[in-house]
Structure 1
Amino acid sequence: MRGTVFHYDQDHDYGYINGVDGKRYIFSRADLTQNMTISRAMPVEFTPDDGTAPDIVAARTAAAPPSGSRQPAGGRATENRSATSMGLWAYFLRALGDDYLNFTGRARRKEFWAFYLWFSILFVALFGFGILLNLAISGFDDGPGTSIGHIPALLFVLAAILPSIAVVVRRLHDIGLTGWLALLCYTPALGAVAFLVFGLLPSQFKENRWGPMPAGVRI
């Protein structure tokens, strides 16, 4: 199959290829059959295998996706997300990067909890740093008299608002529910319960209206 490189993260060694079938395939450097440099929009050929792209070789010309390729709700191309289990940190980085405004795909349980685990860890770390910085500015003997040290934690929360909502919406899509139910997570009475239930329900098997079942999910 022919396709083009959509993204490649050299530090974490994973990337995506947009196939001519309208789906997105994950790959790593071990899938390359040639010693070549990967760049965005690079035309390649590969053998699709359950969401992965092994046996990648450079193609001479770029292949355009067919005009009749399927488009799911929201107008985005159907994506076959990672077919191998990604690390928790990689899921978190992807949520803040490629999926920052992705409200149309699907997110398995591991991706959902990976995001909120690292979000909580980084928030606590930044908040603790802010307390120490406030004490250092005001003097440890006098106690904190300023709140300037909490600015990094505040900026982090503001930057993560949209991807945090998006990952809840994609989790709802993964279990076959409308993303509008994410509003329940932000209600005072039901928020914590809804968040826990949505995060624990298993993925809906096979493809649904929001895309194929995330690979790596055990049936």
Structure 2
Amino acid sequence: MRGEVLHYDEDQGFGFITGADGNRYTFAREDLRQEASMVRGTAVEFQSAGGRARVVFSVRAETANPPADAVTAASSQAGKAPWAPQRFGRFAENGPATSLWSYFWRGMTENYFNFAGRARRKEYWGYLLFWTIALIVVVGIGLLIDDSMGNIDELPAVTIGLCGVFVLATILPWIGLNVRRLHDIGLTGWLFLVVFIPTIGGLIVLVFALVPSQARENQWGSVPAGI
């Protein structure tokens, strides 16, 4: 099968390939057919075996000097430059953005009621970062209004009200994100209920947020993009 390297860690000898069928496959150093640089975007051929890529070799390395007629025919058929690297699967064109802001924005829009699937650590902390920034802005606006109304030394009612509305508006995506984070490390989302344990509940949730993603597909979905 033809595919493309998504990630390869030279030190760990472990990586991921997205296949032409749209699925993601893991591979290790022992699966490589020859010593070659497996940088992101490298076109490869491999044999799939239960979610794992076997007998992996770089197409560029194997076809460094292809026959001229083969190059012309392939280029004519594909309408592309000879031996140009190709992208496959759901990352082929506009793959999902994995910036910190994009995670927060998707959390407040398309993932607002999403309690299924998986969320990597970057998604969790990206959402938390911009949620905190937004909360600071809301508090600042509330304090300015309370100050202009002369409430700053008494009960800052506007600040309290704005913060309450903000928290209520963001509580569902926050719970959903924690559930998906637990799924990502192979645990049931119901474990988020430990947050209600006095004193140590929040600490336990923090530990869950720091655990690395499972580097394989699990019962809640495939490995998140960018891992």
Aligned to 1:92: 104
Give 1:167's match in structure 2, choosing from 152, 177, 194: 177
Greater C-alpha Rg = 2
Alpha-carbon distance, 1:197 to partner = 0.7
Q: Which runs of 5+ in 2 are unaligned?
A: 1-20, 24-85
**Is contact 2:104–2:127 with CA below 8 Å preserved after alignment?**
yes
Post-superposition offset of 1:48? 6.8
Instruction: Determine the C-alpha separation between the residues in 1 that align with 2:151 and 2:174.
Output: 36
Secondary structure at 2:90 match in 1: coil
* Of 198, 202, 214, the match for 2:208: 198
Distance 1:49 1:179 in 2: 32
> Do residues 151 (structure 1) and 190 (structure 2) align?
no
Distance 2:91 2:119 in 1: 17
- The match for 1:124 among 99, 114, 136 is 136
- Looking at secondary structure, tell me which structure has more helix per residue: 2
Q: Is the 8 A contact 1:105 1:210 kept in 2?
A: yes
Q: TM-score, normalised by structure 2?
A: 0.57
Deviations 1:40-84 (A, max 9, x none): xxxxxxx87253132x9xxxxxxxxxxxxxxxxxxxxxxxx83xx
Deviation at 1:184, TM superposition (A): 1.2
Alignment of 1:46-195 (within 5 A): 49-54=88-93, 82=96, 86-138=98-150, 143-195=153-205
Greater relative contact order (Cα 8 A, min sep 6): structure 1 or 2? 1
- Does the Cα contact within 8 Å between 1:50 and 1:215 map onto a contact in 2? no
Q: How far apart are the structure 1 equivalents of 2:151 and 2:195?
A: 40
- Aligned partners of 1:204 and 1:139: how far apart in 2? 50
User: Residues 138 and 145 of structure 1 are in contact (CA less than 8 Å); yes or no, is this contact kept in structure 2?
Assistant: no
Structure 1 pair 48–187 and aligned structure 2 pair: CA distance change class (3 A): farther
Contact 2:143 2:158 in 1 (8 A): no
TM-score (norm 1): 0.59
Cα deviation for residue 156 of structure 1 reads 1.1
> What is the RMSD of the two structures over their aligned residues, measured on CA atoms?
2.5
Percent identical among aligned pairs is 43
Check whether the contact 2:151–2:157 (CA below 8 A) recurs between aligned residues. no
Would the alpha carbon gap of residues 190 and 145 (structure 1) be closer, same or farther in structure 2, given more than 3 Å must change?
closer
Q: Work out whether residues 98 and 225 of structure 2, in 8 Å CA contact, stay in contact via their aligned partners in 1.
A: no
Moved over 6 A (4+): none
When you count strand as a share of all residues, which structure comes out higher? 2
How far is the alpha carbon of 1:133 from its aligned partner?
1.2
Q: Residues 148 and 203 from structure 1, CA distance in 2 versus in 1: closer, same or farther, beyond 3 angstroms?
A: same
Q: Distance in 2 between matches of 1:180 and 1:48?
A: 38
Q: Say how many residue pairs are matched.
A: 145
Residue pair 2:104, 2:130 contacting (<8 A) in 1 also = yes
Indicate which of 203, 214, 219 corresponds to 1:209: 219
**1:159-212: per-residue Cα shift (whole Å, max 9, x none)?**
101100000000000000000001112322222211221111000111111110
